[in-house]
Structure 1
Amino acid sequence: MKTPNLGYKRNNYAEEKTGQEIVVQSKSYWKDSFNRLKKNKVAMVCMGIIIILALVAILAPLISPYDPNQQNLAIALQSPSGEHLFGTDEYGRDILSRVIYGTRVSLSAGIIAQIIATILGVTLGSLAGYYGGKVDTVISRIMEIFAAFPDLLLAMAIMFALGTGLTSLFIALAIVNWVQTARMVRGQVMQLKEKEFVEACIASGGSGFRIIMKHMIPNCISTIIVLITLGIPSAILTEASLSFLGIGIQPPDPSWGSMISYAQPYINSDPLYSIFPGIAIIITVISFNMFGDGLRDALDPKLKN
């Protein structure tokens, strides 16, 4: 009678110990990844710039010197001065204020659209990778159809179909950006489902939904984080392009892309009008791209010592 009890205690202790080791390894992985990220000075600087941009977007009403839509034709196309650091546009609106409020539009478009794209991509990619067969075939054909269209042309077509507005813009950007996430997640899930722990879950009667949610997606989280970070600048550029073409953010709401578009007739007489929003786009996109590259290197398990 004693032998089974001792065996049960040993097994129970082994399970507890294994569970503790898994937790420790998980914490150690994220800690090591953060330490590698801190060593990447460029990525840390870019992360600081992203944080500043986020604060600018959140605190725009407090730090903006003027109402971005306040018009004063008496000071139209004024050069940079003490009162208007970036000058004024053709309606006498303060360019600095409009650049600050444009940060809200660009970041919200990039982040919200990428979140929607990630949810869609992770869902379809994990279903295709786990179930395979006809499910994989159908989803893969859908991905190929969307990937066949240039991003900007597809976004333009969706905007024409849905109409202008923030909601339509979010949907268009999400539809444009979900395919890459779905492909990456599908590939990882196909590799993971061959692992022993997944076979054990299936043998113990675990449902496909539970296995995907509890085991597949958590093991893909580092890849998903990197894809989100690298997808945001792509969405920001697409939003700026749509606004530049007049089918994105509509006036009088400020957008960096629309500001560059409105500055075209004055490019020779007042080049700074278009330069300032252009610099804002460049800084934002480069910061996200460089931070995403650093984050990818930090989360790459192959780099773990």
Structure 2
Amino acid sequence: MLRNIFFWKKQEDLPVNGLNQIEKGNSLSRDAWNRLKKNHMAMAGLVMVIVYTILSITAPILPIYSYKKIISDHQDLPPSLTKTAGELWYEKELKAMQRVAEKEGRELNEEDKARLDEIRHRIATETMEYRGKTVKVHERRYLLGTDYHGRDMLARIIYGGQVSIAIGFIGTFTSFIIGILLGSLAGYVGGKTDYMIMRFVDVMYGLPYMLLVIIFMAIFGRNILNLFLALSVVSWLTVARVVRGQIITLKNSEFVEAARSMGAGTWRVILRHLIPNTLGIIIVFATLRIPTFIMMESFLSYLGLGVSAPYASWGSLVKEGVDGMTIYPWRLFFPAAAMTLFLFAMNFLGDGLRDAFDPQSKNKL
């Protein structure tokens, strides 16, 4: 009986509309999601990011070839949906022999024909161990072709995305942790603490960013961990400034005064009250920073300071593809296309989140 009375009491306290129907409240996150769903480009970007992430995470169990297996006979084979690696290899060798014979003004000689017979025999008989099974080497199909070592480009692009996306997400996460903590501390405490932190930020801003990263990589060596550290250690500066500005606007709000009056300390107010109220701008800024990290890693890879072999990233694959792009265009086109699509998706998603979390945005949905 008491439970029923309490239930009807709660029902009476809820707001109702003109038709005497109960209106449900709408949180900021739910309202932002509803606004985001109306942005078709942002939703397409979200789907693309999810697909890329799933492919990267599940790469070890996908039905693809090893990204580091070198088959010298399969060097620089073009993409094909129908022809096997053996057929493409045979055609490549035949065309090369025909070009040489044409230059010398002759037909294929006995030595050339013997070489072709040997290739046909190897195509029909050569085997290898792959995932515990004996398979014919030259019956492979390379949907996106091979690189200059005979490695499958599809596998290298998927595993390269694993590295590039990890650098984007982990680098952004690390830099945001540093920037949020220091920026919120500077904005909330103020005074000398604010002065010291922001003067340090100003000094770091005055130094050439990429030069610091290059020096860090040159000193501590080329590996993925150092690459994460190099990109994140000097990438928190803008985050600290953005968070500091948001904290300054919120620190005199009523909910902060209420928390102080109840005895909450500095870090409790920052972590439990101020930072959660800045999550909107933080999420938006994070989605726009992830492409920046991927582009910076690509630039370092182009300079030869990226990830080391046998690992690859989209940036290192693009660098390798540039060297032979006129003769083997697929080595450049497919990694560049994969990276470009992901960067576009992240930018569309970031723009959509910015509009979704800002109801006053002029780009109204």
TM over 0.5: yes
Runs (4 or more) in structure 1 with deviation over 6 Å come to none
CA distance 1:102–1:64, shift in 2 (3 Å): farther
Rg: which structure is higher?
Answer: 2
Structure ranking higher in helix proportion: 1
- Structure 2 equivalent of residue 48 of structure 1: 47
Residue 269 of structure 2 corresponds to residue 211 of structure 1: yes
Q: Deviations over 1:155-205 (max 9, x none)?
A: 212212322111111111212321121111100101111223323333443
Aligned to 2:136: none
Partner Cα separation in structure 1 for residue 234 and residue 246 of structure 2? 21
For residues 48-83 of structure 1, give each alpha carbon's deviation from its aligned partner in whole angstroms, at most 9, with x where no partner exists.
Answer: 000100111011123352101111111211111231
Other-structure match for 2:90 = none
Aligned partner (choices 198, 213, 225) of residue 256 of structure 2 = 198
Structure 1 range deviating more: 258-267 or 68-77: 258-267
Residue 125 of structure 1 is matched in structure 2 by 183
Partner residue, 1:35 = 34
Aligned sequence identity (%): 40
1:271 equivalent in structure 2: 329
Q: Secondary structure of 1:65's partner?
A: coil
Shift in Å at residue 231 of structure 1?
A: 1.1
Unaligned 5+ segments in structure 2 are 1-8, 14-23, 82-140
Q: Which residue of 1 aligns with 2:62?
A: 63
Correspondence for 1:166 among 190, 208, 224: 224
> Please, what is the CA RMSD of the aligned residues?
2.1
Counterpart check, 1:237 vs 2:236: no
TM-score with structure 1 length normalisation?
A: 0.87
The match for 1:183 is 241
Question: How many residues are paired up?
Answer: 284
Cα offset, 1:29, TM superposition: 1.7
* Structure 2 match to 1:254: 312
Amino acid at match of 1:282: T
- TM-score, structure 2 as length reference: 0.74
Structure 1 unmatched runs, 5+: 1-12, 18-23
Aligned equivalent of 2:72: 73
3-state SS of the aligned residue for 1:281? helix
Cα deviation, residue 28, structure 1: 2.3
Q: Which amino acid aligns with 2:349?
A: F
Contact 1:64 1:100 (C-alpha < 8 Å) held by counterparts: no
CA distance in 1, matches of 2:63, 2:357: 37
Query: Aligned to 1:78, what secondary structure does the other structure show?
Result: coil
